[in-house]
Amino acid sequence: MYGMDINPSLISKITDILLPKIEEVKIRLDEFEERWSDKYPHTAKSWRANWEELMTYFDYPVEIRKLLI
């Protein structure tokens, strides 16, 4: 995503994915992919391919996750 023209609403959607409870993450990722996959086709695919590694992010409390975004 670096070096791309990133829409502020895209950042908002990524934040929506990263901050909820882990049970909501797949639903939010599906919503993100449905909305943004035409413009950013590799983002959701990359997240799904690296799912196990990304889920360690949710070991941290929301307050810490906000700092990591």
- 16-31 pLDDT tens trace: 666 667 778 888 889 8
Average pLDDT along the chain? 79
Residue 69 DSSP code: -
Task: Report d(CA 69, CA 58) in Å as an integer.
Answer: 12
Direct distance between the N- and C-terminal alpha carbons of the chain, in angstroms, rounded to an integer:
14
How much is the average pLDDT of 44-58? Answer: 88
Confirm if 28 and 20 have CB atoms less than 8 A apart: yes
pTM: 0.61
CB neighbours of residue 40 within 10 Å: 19
Confirm if 28 and 16 have CB atoms less than 8 A apart: yes
